[in-house]
């Protein structure tokens, strides 16, 4: 009950903030109502579980009802919307966002149209190459941070890795509109040195989008890999050296197996958002490079064909869950190998 009270108090605080700042919107009472409806479902579920003897008070001393508000929130604004998404992907579009509910697989057959399949393979290629490049660029960096960075200034170096995150994602992305511009210093300089014979022609190409993707996702990969390498006992490497293994063999047989969980997490952390990315191609591709995200976005915001967009999104989710299963399988195997 304390939890429910805290959750409602949160919503009340939010409402108060809005009124104070002069914008009470009509939707807010609706939202509160929704949460209130979702809440009993979870409390009831919790009580049933309790009756079944599965749970009680958590041993940490805080009542489980504290979980209720956030679960109610997830139910109202995450799970129900996902259910709507599934329902829409098999509904019949009537135009302008309207649908008639039913079981119509037409959206899916449209989503598997060769045009969209080409976009899908392109997205897969962008995400795969992007992830590979992020690993190539990021792993040595994480390795240096974990092993060789001066201990006193390690926090500073980690902070420097995060600071770009705090400057807006869009600013970071559009900075390449300047950097890659054919009139910018970079292009002119390369021309003067003689490395290229005509102005840089990168803007609004696949390469520009790929650069933008790698640039934006790099820190997201480096941090988890650093975290896993940081726990590694470097004496193991010294031992491997003393026992006569080459630096390369030590890397392959000692460092990599121990780093695999972090590597897998980092890879997943960049690969999944890359598959759904649409802002970077929109800015740096100038509408000429379409990924899955762009197709979904256009289906929703321009064509208003919600069912088609929902079907494409479902295809994307299905593909991603395959990768997720692969990841879980690999990581459990890695821990088994680590234990053995």
Partner 1 sequence: MRDVLGKLGAFAGALLAVAGVIAVASFVIGLLSGRVSFGGLLVAVVGAALIAGVARLGKVPSLLGGYSALVYLGLFLPIVIVVIYAFNSGRYVTVWGGFSTASFSRALHDDAITSSILRSFRIGLTTSIVSTLLGTAAALALARARAGVRTPAEVVILLTVVVPEVVIAIATLIFFVNVGFELGTTTMFLGHCVFNVSLVTLIVRARFLSMGDSLEEASRDLGAGPISTFWQVTLPRLAPAILAGGLLAFTFSFDDVVISNFTSGAGHETWPLHILSALRFGLTPTLNAAATLMIGVTLVGLALAALALRIGSRQGAADFSTSTT
Positions 197 through 236 that interact with partner 1 (CB under 8 A): 215, 218-219
Is residue 115 involved in binding partner 1 (CB under 8 A)? no
Residues between 297 and 326 with contacts to partner 1, criterion CB under 8 A: 297, 300-301, 306, 309-310, 313, 316-317, 320, 324
> In this complex, which beta carbon is closest to partner 1, that of residue 236 or of residue 317?
317
Phi, psi (rounded to 5 degrees) for 178? -80, -50
Is residue 190 involved in binding partner 1 (CB under 8 A)? no
Question: DSSP secondary-structure letter at 168?
Answer: -
Is residue 271 involved in binding partner 1 (CB under 8 A)? no
> In this complex, which beta carbon is closest to partner 1, that of residue 51 or of residue 340?
51
CB of 252 to partner 1, least distance (A): 16
Stretch that binds partner 1, among 110-118, 158-166, 232-240, 255-263 (CB under 8 A): 158-166
> In this complex, which beta carbon is closest to partner 1, that of residue 169 or of residue 329?
169
How much of the chain is helix, strand and coil, in % rounded to 5? 75, 0, 20
CB of 231 to partner 1, least distance (A): 14
Collapse the DSSP code of 246 into the 3-class scheme (helix H, G, I; strand E, B; otherwise coil) and give the result.
coil
d(CA 78, CA 74): 5
Q: How many residues bind partner 1 (CB under 8 A)?
A: 106
Is residue 293 involved in binding partner 1 (CB under 8 A)? yes
Go through 265-297 and write b for each residue having 16 or more CB atoms within 10 A of its CB, e for each that does not.
bbbbbbbbebbbbbebbbbbbeeebbbbbbbbb
In this structure, are residues 36 and 42 in contact, taking their beta carbons and an 8 Å threshold? no
In this structure, are residues 141 and 229 in contact, taking their beta carbons and an 8 Å threshold? no
Is residue 164 involved in binding partner 1 (CB under 8 A)? yes
Is residue 281 involved in binding partner 1 (CB under 8 A)? no
Q: Please, what sign has the CA dihedral across residues 222, 267, 269, 127?
A: positive
> In this complex, which beta carbon is closest to partner 1, that of residue 258 or of residue 298?
298
d(CA 196, CA 21): 55
CB of 340 to partner 1, least distance (A): 26
């Amino acid at each position: 009950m304390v939890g429910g009270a805290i959750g409602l108090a949160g919503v009340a605080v939010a409402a108060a903030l809005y009124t104070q700042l002069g914008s009470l919107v009509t939707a807010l009472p609706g939202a509160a109502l929704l949460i209130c409806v979702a809440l009993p479902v979870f409390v009831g579920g919790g009580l049933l579980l309790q009756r079944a003897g599965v749970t009680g008070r958590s041993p940490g001393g805080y009542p489980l009802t504290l979980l209720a508000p956030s679960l109610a929130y997830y139910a109202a604004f995450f799970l129900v919307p996902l259910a709507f998404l599934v329902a829409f992907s098999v509904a019949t579009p009537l135009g302008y966002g309207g649908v008639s509910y039913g079981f119509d697989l037409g959206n899916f057959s449209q989503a598997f149209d060769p045009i969209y399949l080409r976009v899908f393979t392109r997205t897969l290629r962008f995400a795969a190459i992007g992830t590979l490049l992020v690993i190539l660029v990021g792993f040595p960096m994480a390795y240096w941070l974990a092993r060789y960075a001066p201990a006193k200034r390690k926090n500073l170096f980690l902070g420097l890795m995060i600071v770009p995150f705090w400057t807006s994602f869009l600013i970071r992305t559009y900075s390449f509109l300047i950097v890659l511009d054919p009139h910018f210093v970079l292009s002119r300089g390369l021309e003067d040195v003689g490395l290229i014979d005509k102005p840089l022609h990168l803007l609004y190409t696949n390469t520009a989008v790929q650069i933008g993707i790698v640039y934006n996702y790099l820190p997201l990969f480096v941090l988890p890999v650093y975290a896993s390498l940081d726990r590694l006992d470097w004496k193991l490497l010294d031992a491997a050296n003393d026992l006569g293994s080459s630096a390369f063999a030590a890397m392959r047989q000692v460092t990599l197996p121990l780093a695999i969980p972090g590597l897998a997490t980092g890879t997943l952390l960049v690969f999944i958002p890359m598959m759904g990315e649409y802002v970077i191609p929109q800015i740096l591709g100038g509408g000429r490079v379409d990924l899955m995200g762009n197709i979904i976005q256009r289906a929703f915001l321009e064509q208003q064909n919600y069912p088609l967009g929902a079907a494409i999104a479902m295809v994307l989710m299905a593909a991603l869950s395959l990768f997720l299963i692969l990841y879980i399988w690999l990581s459990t195997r890695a821990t088994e190998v680590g234990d053995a």
